[in-house]
Structure formats: structure tokens, C-alpha cells
Structure 1
Amino acid sequence: MRRALAVFLKYLSLVLATAVVIVPLVTILLTSLRTEREMATGGPLSMPGDWFNFDNFATAFVDGKMLPALGNTTFILFFSVLATVVIGSMTAYAIDRFQFRLKKLVLAGFLVAALVPGITTQVATFQIIEGMGAFNTRWAPILLYMGTDIVSIYIFIQFMRSIPTSLDESARLDGANSFTVYRRIILPLLKPAIATVVIVKGVVIYNDFYIPFLYMPSRDLGTISTSLFRFKGPYGAHWEVISAGTVLVIVPSLIVFLLLQRFIYRGFTSGALK
């Protein structure tokens, strides 16, 4: 009886957890396919009369300026993730392969910086960005996202520890300097870690609302998240159109995640074990 009860509770918890994730997504999808009249007469899970009603998506795409927003998001995402990979892998390379004074203090500094709430430093950060002339440009969030977080450094360090130092020594015997060792040996062997960091960091940047909204107030510089927020204004009561805009935001990240999810799990598992 105890074993049967444990199995029942296990699957019940899995079903409930799945429902918590799936039900809101299904509700948004059904709402995006319904008309204004169907919204007034039906409930949140009511079936649409026409499953091929894409008028709400056309309205959201055109009036919500989703295409320029996707272009801004892609621009920010590309340069931010690229800088994160370069800075994070170089930092991990220096920490793992070199011995220097105050090494533990440097690691502690990264940890302390990660623990400090970002909101407490926003006044100083805003003044720095404005002083650099990057305010209300697409480079403002890129400069802020470039700061590599401790999770990315940890992932790179864990993978780097699995790379034998004998490869470094052999390359140095052939006359390679530190940067050549990093570029020719270390970086190619970090492909699983790079894929993991790209996906994790990319999802965070894609979903971020606070930094683009604060540092890029211009409507022409709207990202996916801020454009969806501003789109709520003229359509505050038309939830079917807002839901269509939400679906347009969800679909790209969902497709990328489903295609590359194995890299996430493999990256975290390998990094934890190596």
C-alpha cells in the first residue's frame, strides 16, 4: 500500500506540475483564436468557432510592431550572447589555468557581485550608461548583458577542468602562447558548454523586460517584451488580440528550446559530473 501510494503521489504531482505549465498556454492559444463576440459569451477555455481565425495575429503583428521588435531583440541577443561567451570563457580560462595572488579573493568577488541585488545599483548604472552616451540606444542593454554572471563562469570552469593540462603543455612546447592555447585548444573543446551558456543566457535576454524598458524608452527601439507591454494600451480590453501577440512572442523561444533542449540537459549534467 505504501509503495502504491508513493507511486500515485509521484504521478499526481507530475500531472499537477504539468497542468500548471500547460493550462495557461492552452488558454492563451484558445483566446488568440476567438473573436470579440466569443470572448464576451464564452469562458477562458471555450473552444473558438473558427480554428483558422488569424485576424488577431495580423492585428498584433502589424499594430504591435512585432517585426521591428524582433529585429531589435535579435540584434541585442546576438552581440550580448557573443560577448558573454568570449568574456566568460576567457575568465574561466584565466581562473582555471593560471595561478596568481588573490585568486580566491577574485572568485569571492564574482560570488558577492552575483548576490548583490541588481536593483540596488541601478542609479549608478543608469548614470554610467547615460555618461557613455548609450542611453536610448540598442547598445545600452548590450553593455549591461555583457557582464558575465557566475553561472556562466561556473559552467565554463567545470568543462575546462575536464580538459587535460597536458594539451596546454604540448602546445606551449610547440611555441604557442596563452592566447593561442585558448583559441586553438580550449575554445573548440568547450562547444557543449558554449551551447549551454548560449541557450540559458539567450532565454534570459529574450524574456527580459526591465532593462530594455528602462534604457530604451523610444518606441522605435522596442523589444519583444516591451512591445507586447506597450501593445496593451489601445487594446486593453481586447484580450484576444493581446493573447495573439503573446503567442507571437512565445513561439520563437519555444521552437528554439525544443530543438536545442538536449544541449541544456547535457551541458548541465556533464558540467556537474566532470
Structure 2
Amino acid sequence: MNGRSNPVRSLITHGLLWLAAFMIFFPLYSIVLSAFKGKAEFAHSNIFEWPHSFLQWDNFEYVLHNGKLFHAFGNTIAITLMSLVGNLFVSTMAAYILGRFRFRGKITILGAFTAVSFIPSITTQVATFTIIQKLGLFNTLFAPVLLYIGTDIIQLYVYLQFIRTVPEELDESAMLEGASLFGIYRAIILPLLAPAIATMVIIKSINIYNDMYIPYLYMPSKELGVVSTSLMRFVADRTTEWQYMSAAVLLIMAPVIVGFLAAQRYVFAGIVAGAVK
């Protein structure tokens, strides 16, 4: 019975995998075809029809110049770099304190981090928006930076798993040599967290790069547009210029795909090494 059912099971499994692959790659396939079609060609062809030529770069030139994508890339890089630096110190310091020190309320703090992760962020946006506005950061690059700096439960637990593998005897030896708590964090803990930091930096960068909600809400000025909100330039009240939108999506996707493919081994290695067993 098992021998007879295996081919059927294998057929079903492969069929589901091919279906999943089709659902994932079909949108990208349609975007690639649309990006190389002119306005008239796009209007008179269906989504499955190939463009007359894949050497037509007019859409990409239009997007780069009229869509101000170079400026959007600059804003995105600035926000990402400032956010990563701040997030690195906040998250690793929080993990260092929670992983190395014993104090009252430690379990409560960890429980609060876990509980907050179940609250939809959109439900707290009124209070968050009020705070950002009171600080005078609304419609500035520092508004999303301040929000991205905060750590989350995934970062915290990945760092905690790495810190717990570092012998406490290293801290004691450093204290005997006269090192301060910050000196131990800077000279011992931070270097040993390098694999986890590399993993979290890559994941955090992708999340910031792809996020549209926070930049759109807190930076409505067109001069402060990032790569995600720059796509709104090709959307009108009644029409959407899909050929330009598709070209912009390809240009925005390219750095993420190349970066992830180049660094995916660091992502998987860091997550596996710091996973909770």
C-alpha cells in the first residue's frame, strides 16, 4: 500500500510546489514584460504578450529622471544607515543587560517585549504620531529613523542566545583588569555578537528598504520620498501608468535581490546559530 501511494504523494507534492513557484514568480514575470513596453504597446497588448524589444530603456530613463529615483535612493540610504547604527546599539545593549544582569522585573520586561509583538502597530499610530509631532520630527528624515531604532522581540532573542553562549568568566576577568561594564560590552560582548549582528543588519535593512507605511505617514513631502513612496508618483486619481510603475519596481527590487543573494548564507547561519532550541 505504501509503495503504491508514494508515486501519488510525490505527484501531489511536486504539483503543489510548481503551483507555489508559479504564484511567486508570475507577478515578477508580468512586471518584467510590462517594464519593456511603451505606452501605446502596453495599452494594446495583453499581460502575457512579450514586448517588441527588450532593448527599449525609455521607461527606465523616464523613471530615473522624472520619478527622481536617484534622490529617493539617497534618502533611503541615509535613513537606513542612521537607523542601523542606532538600532545596533539599542538592541545589543538591551540584550546585554537582560542576558548578563539579574534584577527585579527582568522577566516582566521580557514578557512585555513578547506581549507588544502581538499588538498591531496600526492601533498605536495615533499616539506614536502625536509623539513624533510634539518632538518636532514630523516631515523630517529623523521621524522614521527614531521609529526604526527601537528593537523588537526577534532581535532581542537572537542576541540573547548568542550572549548566553559567552562565558561569564570573560566578564569577571575583564573586571579584574579594571574594565567597566561599558568596556566589557564594547570589547567583549559586541565583537562576539558579530554573526548575529550581521544577520540582524541584513534583515533590518530589507525591512526598512521595503517599508512604505512609516515614510508615507511621517514624511509626506515629495522631497523626502524614499524608494517605496516614490512609486506613488506614477499613480493618479483615475489612472496608473503601469509601464512606468513596472520599470520602477524592477529598479527598486534589483538591489534587494542582489544583496540578499550575496548575503543569504550569513542570514541563515546567524539565525540557525542563535535559534531557540
1:111-159, CA deviations, whole angstroms, 9 ceiling, x for partnerless residues? 1222222112211111111111111000001011111111111111111
Equivalent in the alignment of 1:130: 133
Correspondence 1:1-274 to 2 at 5 A: 1-233=4-236, 236-272=239-275
Task: Give me the TM-score of the superposition, normalised by structure 1.
Answer: 0.95
Gaps of 5+ in 2: none
- How big is the shift at 1:237? 4.1
- 8 Å CA contact 2:234–2:240 kept in 1: the answer is no
Amino acid at match of 2:232: F
Give the whole-Å Cα distance in 2 for the aligned partners of 1:220 and 1:138.
10
Give the whole-Å Cα distance in 2 for the aligned partners of 1:138 and 1:69.
12
- 8 Å CA contact 2:33–2:50 kept in 1: the answer is yes
Give the whole-Å Cα distance in 2 for the aligned partners of 1:109 and 1:196.
24
1:218-270, CA deviations, whole angstroms, 9 ceiling, x for partnerless residues? 00000111111233239934311111011111111111111111111111111
Deviates more, 1:23-32 or 1:3-12: 3-12
Give the whole-Å Cα distance in 2 for the aligned partners of 1:145 and 1:237.
31
Gaps of 5+ in 1: none
Give the whole-Å Cα distance in 1 for the aligned partners of 2:234 and 2:82.
26
CA distance 1:57–1:235, change in 2 (3 Å): farther
- RMSD of equivalent CA atoms: 1.6
Amino acid at match of 2:130: Q
Give the whole-Å Cα distance in 2 for the aligned partners of 1:230 and 1:40.
20
- 8 Å CA contact 1:39–1:240 kept in 2: the answer is yes
Give the whole-Å Cα distance in 1 for the aligned partners of 2:249 and 2:106.
46
Amino acid at match of 2:55: F
1:4-54, CA deviations, whole angstroms, 9 ceiling, x for partnerless residues? 222222222222222111111111011101122322332212111111111
Size of the alignment, in residue pairs? Answer: 274
CA distance 1:5–1:162, change in 2 (3 Å): farther
Give the whole-Å Cα distance in 2 for the aligned partners of 1:219 and 1:138.
12
Give the whole-Å Cα distance in 2 for the aligned partners of 1:229 and 1:238.
10
- How big is the shift at 1:162? 1.8
Give the whole-Å Cα distance in 2 for the aligned partners of 1:9 and 1:193.
38
Give the whole-Å Cα distance in 1 for the aligned partners of 2:16 and 2:180.
54
Task: Give me the TM-score of the superposition, normalised by structure 2.
Answer: 0.94
